[in-house]
Amino acid sequence: MTTPLIGVSVPRSPEHSAFGIKDSVLQVMEYSEAVIAAGGRPVLLPSTETIPEDLLLGIDGLLLSGGGDLSPALFGEEPVEASYGISEIRDAFEIALISDATERAIPILAICRGLQLINVLRGGTLEMHVEGHWQTVPADQPMHSVEVAAGSALAEIVGAEPLEINSYHHQAIAQLGEGLNPVAFAGDLIEAYEDPDADLLAVQWHPEHMFRTSERNHSLFADLVRRAVHRKERN
């Protein structure tokens, strides 16, 4: 199989991560390890203030990582007491990533913050704070399960039975953005969506911490690599 290059967005600084300085570095490594285990080659994309032209030239797939909160101004809100890690520079950089990926028809896997950002860019909104979705057990262990929509692309990837996931988010989708199909649920919360027309899958949880212990979570990265290979060979 041709080894695709997978661009991985990373926080601007550890302070903009939910996991602190040490764990933030380890989290970036986990994204990279998950991509390698799936057969891809990670290319780290740090959130620079200066955004270069041809940002994703040569990149075959894009992984949007987790991190701090989006600027609430993106969806008409103000920060709340629980808000943390807001970086308008990272917001601008990742908006440019998404725009370039869309223009180049690069497949995307969006994780946690990435899911929230694309939702907002599609006209959706976020709940500013939700309780009970931040686990205290190790990140490679599940906190709860999600119901997977039958017939969805996600169901083809991970199976249609309930999927055990971890949970590290204090915000959640309120209104879903245009063109996005909800495909995983925890109660009333949307935990994943997809847009097959845009070669896009987004999940609210952190599969990079579970790819070693959960084959179904590993399959999310394998699917991104598969889609990236298909694009690479097509071009």
Annotation marks residue 112 as catalytic: yes
- pLDDT at residue 7, as a whole number: 98
**Domain spans of the chain?**
5-234
Annotation marks residue 209 as catalytic: no
Give residue-wise pLDDT tens across range 122-132: 999 998 877 65
Active-site pick, 30, 169, 208, 218: 208
Active-site pick, 133, 170, 206, 218: 206
Active-site pick, 112, 133, 209, 218: 112
Buried b or exposed e, range 42-64, using 16+ CB within 10 angstroms: bbebebeeeeeeebbeebbbbbb
**Domain 5-234: homologous superfamily in CATH:** Class I glutamine amidotransferase (GATase) domain (3.40.50.880)
Query: What would the mean pLDDT of 28-46 be, rounded to a whole number?
Result: 95
Q: Answer whether residue 40 shows pLDDT above 60.
A: yes
- Lowest pLDDT segment from 122-131, 136-145, 171-180: 136-145
Q: Answer whether residue 36 shows pLDDT above 50.
A: yes
Q: How many CB atoms lie within 10 A of CB 141?
A: 13
Q: Answer whether residue 134 shows pLDDT above 70.
A: no
Give residue-wise pLDDT tens across range 198-211: 999 999 999 999 99
Annotation marks residue 170 as catalytic: no
Residues 6+ apart with CB under 8 A from 58: 5
* pLDDT band at 21; cut points 50, 70, 90: very low
Query: What would the mean pLDDT of 20-25 be, rounded to a whole number?
Result: 50
Return the SS3 of 215: helix
